[in-house]
Amino acid sequence: MANPFRSARLFVSELIGELQKASWPTKTELKDSTIVVIVACLLLGLFTSISDFALLNVVNAVTEWVSR
């Protein structure tokens, strides 16, 4: 029967090797990227809210117009 810990140990050693090859961002790059993501999320949320509000008013106006 094969040793299950051998494959786990091989996986972990390969994982560590790959993580060491990766290029990690500096603190400044990380901070700047985080700010960009937060601003983008806020803008997308604002756009979605305005669009939803506008479409709600259009649907309500059309519904009232049709029901008269």
Whole-structure pTM value: 0.64
Mean pLDDT computed over 18-22: 93
> Looking at residue 1, what is its pLDDT?
57
Residue pLDDT, tens place only, 24-57: 999 999 999 999 999 999 999 999 999 999 999 9
Please give the span between the terminal C-alpha atoms of the chain, in angstroms, as a whole number: 79
- All structural domains of the chain with their residue ranges: 25-68
Residue 58 DSSP symbol: H
1 vs 58, more confident = 58
Tracing tokens 């985080």 back to the chain, one arrives at 34
